[in-house]
Amino acid sequence: MTSGEMDLIAVLDWVAASSAGHIEVAAMDGEYYLENENVVRDTAKHAEEIGVPIVNYLVSGDLRTADGAEIDRLRRQLDVAHRFGARIFRHDVAPWAWREQDPGEFESTFEKVVEGCRAVADHAADLGIVSTIENHGFFMNGSDRLARLVYAVDRPNFRVTLDLGNGLCVGEVPGKTAAGLIDVAASIGVKDFHIRRSAGDGWLKTLAGDYLLGTVSGHGDVDLPGLLALAATKPDVPVSLEFEGMEAPLPAIERSLANIIRLTESVA
């Protein structure tokens, strides 16, 4: 879509012809869907017609100060999620690369994040939507932090979009991430990484000093069989593929889907 080769309708048609059963829409930093209600309406209608549900709508967010304007923007993005027909909404609480300088800054920021997440979740509840935060970036990542946030927000419709690989960014092994968050997960994202102790350009350095490079699911070093076995214990939680590798996207997504289905069937 970024290259202009496909629009969202074309992506939906591609998904309908694939082995996938649903789609997530990631607006992230963009305001496009806020500003183009007709696109959202037409997309939701087409998704329903071809039987490809939009299960999750994902956006950026910054709740470090519980700023009222930002909370209002996220509420309006929730309205977009509702128009899409999504039953799950995922938002950030800080810029991806931000990390607190010391424990005191974490605690003071955490209090504001809890306040902001409650406000967003309360609007989500009015729409019948589950509001979530993803283990993502360097601040709100790691199973202990995410679980603490869920219980501090204390809303029945506030849960986690669980990314099975992202804990690596903060030095947490994926098995610990998944085991610590599976019971509060509203959705699960599958991705794979090559993991090295040293690497060249294009690799992400983690807080543990490892280097990550996204790849086709099943081609990397993440223990997907074990993680998918755990995910299978929550059959009502949607499982989505996230591909962020350097391979050509469509063939890589096809291979990833095939590998995920094969691995899931092998542990069933």
DSSP string, 191-249: -EEEEESS--TTPEEPTTS-EEEEE-TTSSSS-HHHHHHHHTT-TTS-EEE---SSS-H
Does 205 reside within a domain? no
Tell me the residue type at 260: I
Instruction: Please tell me the predicted confidence (pLDDT) of residue 201.
Output: 86
Q: Could you tell me the CATH number of the domain that includes residue 29?
A: 3.20.20.150
- Residue whose entry in the numeric block shows the structure tokens 């932090």: 145
CA distance 65 to 49: 41
Does 207 reside within a domain? no
Instruction: Please tell me the predicted confidence (pLDDT) of residue 28.
Output: 74
Q: Name the token pair of 197.
A: 């102790």
The pTM of this model reads: 0.95
Does 102 reside within a domain? yes
Biggest distance spanned by C-alpha atoms of the chain = 51
First to last CA, the chain: 34
Q: Write out the residue range of the structural domain in which residue 38 sits.
A: 8-189
Strand partners, 130: 88
Tell which residue, 264, 106, 242, 260, has the closest CA to residue 166: 242
Does 213 reside within a domain? no
Question: Helices then strands (H, E): number in the chain?
Answer: 9, 10
Q: Name the token pair of 82.
A: 């509702």
Low-confidence ranges of the chain (pLDDT < 50): none
Does 265 reside within a domain? no
Number of domains in the chain: 1
Instruction: Please tell me the predicted confidence (pLDDT) of residue 40.
Output: 96
Does 54 reside within a domain? yes
Strand partners, 194: 213
Instruction: Please tell me the predicted confidence (pLDDT) of residue 268.
Output: 67
Does 153 reside within a domain? yes
Instruction: Please tell me the predicted confidence (pLDDT) of residue 135.
Output: 98
Strand partners, 160: 133, 185
Q: Percentage of residues in the chain with pLDDT exceeding 90?
A: 93
Beta strands, E only, the chain: 23-28, 54-59, 88-91, 130-134, 158-163, 185-190, 192-196, 204-205, 211-215, 239-241
Instruction: Please tell me the predicted confidence (pLDDT) of residue 244.
Output: 92
Does 88 reside within a domain? yes
Look over the chain and give the mean of its residue pLDDT values, rounded to a whole number: 96
Q: pLDDT tens across 56-72, in order? A: 999 999 999 999 999 99
